[in-house]
């Protein structure tokens, strides 16, 4: 019963990690990364569409992104969407594509980015705790209905905590790696 609960909710634990990974990939480091801009919404023929679906995003140099739309008529729309985003990037339109040169990060900016990263990691920890609480409630309900014994309930709680600790440890490894990427020049 308890093992099934843990297996049934494994996707929820993995989802918290995946969401953190997605959010962390949007935080810029000293190097260019297509994930930084690929989810920016562009008004493409009246429909809000992610940039990755209307253009090719490449990295010609370490601190430069090159965005080449499949339809040259969307260059100005893509440029406007990047300017309106909260990334603070300054796109340059050369008629064939858009170049974004990422400025070097200052120490203050790096600290702000790490603080933002830590906030997103805490959101992931909260999501993991929420899944834990749901499973714990289900275990308690199963004991009240007589499906499991009190000993099973407490051994299930210990097993649940081991799984939660494992996912928190995976999260911390991901967070430390991203923090290292942000802080290295």
Which is it for strands 47-50 and 41-44: parallel, antiparallel or unpaired? antiparallel
The stretches of the chain forming alpha helices (DSSP H) are 2-8, 10-25, 75-84, 107-144, 150-183
Range in 18-32, 102-116, 122-136 the model is least confident about: 18-32
Band (pLDDT 50/70/90 cuts) for residue 90 is confident
The arithmetic mean of pLDDT across residues 1-21, rounded, is 88
CATH for 31-101, options being 3.40.50.10130, 3.90.1200.10, 3.40.50.620, 3.30.1360.40: 3.30.1360.40
Mean pLDDT of 3-7: 83
Q: Which residues pair with 118 in a beta bridge?
A: none
Contact 20, 121 (CB under 8 A): yes
The DSSP letter of residue 61 is E
Superfamily of domain 2-24+106-183: Ribosome-recycling factor (1.10.132.20)
Q: What pLDDT is attached to residue 185? A: 59
Domain residue limits, the chain: 2-24+106-183, 31-101
pTM for this model (two decimals): 0.75
């Amino acid at each position: 019963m308890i093992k099934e609960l843990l297996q049934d909710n494994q996707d929820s634990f993995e989802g918290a990690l995946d969401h953190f990974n997605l959010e962390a990939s949007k935080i810029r480091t000293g190097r260019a990364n297509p994930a930084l801009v690929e989810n920016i919404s562009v008004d493409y023929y009246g429909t809000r569409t992610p940039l990755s679906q209307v253009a090719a995003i490449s990295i010609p140099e370490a601190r430069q992104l090159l965005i080449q739309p499949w339809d040259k008529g969307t260059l100005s729309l893509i440029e406007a969407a990047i300017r309106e985003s909260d990334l603070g990037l300054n796109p340059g339109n050369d008629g064939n594509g858009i170049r974004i040169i990422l400025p070097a990060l200052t120490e203050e900016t790096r600290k702000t980015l790490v603080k933002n990263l830590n906030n997103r990691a805490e959101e992931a920890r909260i999501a993991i705790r929420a899944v834990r609480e749901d499973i714990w409630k289900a275990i308690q309900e199963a004991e009240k209905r007589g499906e499991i014994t009190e000993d099973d309930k407490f051994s299930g709680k210990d097993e649940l905590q081991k799984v939660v600790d494992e996912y928190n440890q995976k999260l911390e490894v991901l967070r430390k790696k991203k923090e290292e990427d942000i802080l290295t020049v």
